[in-house]
């Protein structure tokens, strides 16, 4: 599973990256968490308000900080697919 955190490096983006790693650890999923800081690439996902969270190419949230619990539900969803 591929998890991407979209954001140019603001405080919330760093928090989201840490929370995503936490969610991966808790769920035991086989997933990589990486950061996307390039503006052109962030915008290719259609996201204007950062931080954004993309799992397996799907934009799950943007413009806010989802909770670890929420991220876990999305990871579980993607596991089933």
Partner 1 sequence: MIKEFADWLSYKVFEMQAGTHMADAVNFFVYDTIKILLMLTVIIYVVSIIRSFFPPEKVKKILAHKTEFVGNILAALLGIVTPFCSCSAVPVFIGFLEAGVPLGVTLTFLIASPMINEIALVLLWGLFGARIALIYIGTGMVVAITAGMILGRIPAVERMVEDYVWEIRMGNVEPPKLTWRDRAEQAALHTQDILRRVTLYVLIGIGVGALIHGYVPIDFVATYAGRDNPFAVPLAVLIAIPLYSNAAGTIPIVQALMGKGMPLGTVLAFMMAVTAISFPEMVILRKVLKVKLLAIFAGILTIAIIIVGYLFNAII
Pick 25 or 48: Cβ nearer partner 1: 48
10 is catalytic: yes
Q: Which residue has the tokens 């799950």?
A: 60
Determine if 42 is a binding residue for partner 1 (CB under 8 A).
yes
Q: How many CA atoms within 13 Å lie on the side-chain side of 46?
A: 6
Site for partner 1 in 43-72 (CB under 8 A): 43-50, 59, 61-65
Q: Residue 23: name the closest of 1, 47, 46, 48 by CA.
A: 1
67 is catalytic: no
Residues forming contacts to partner 1 in the complex (CB under 8 A) are 8, 10, 39-40, 42-50, 59, 61-65
């Amino acid at each position: 599973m591929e998890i991407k955190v979209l954001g140019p490096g603001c405080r919330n983006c760093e928090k989201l990256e840490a929370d995503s790693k936490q969610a991966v650890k808790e769920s035991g999923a086989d997933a990589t968490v990486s950061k996307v800081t390039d503006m052109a690439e962030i915008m290719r996902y259609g996201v204007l308000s950062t931080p954004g969270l993309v799992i397996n190419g799907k934009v799950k949230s943007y413009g806010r900080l989802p909770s670890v619990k929420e991220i876990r539900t999305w990871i579980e969803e993607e596991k089933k697919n």
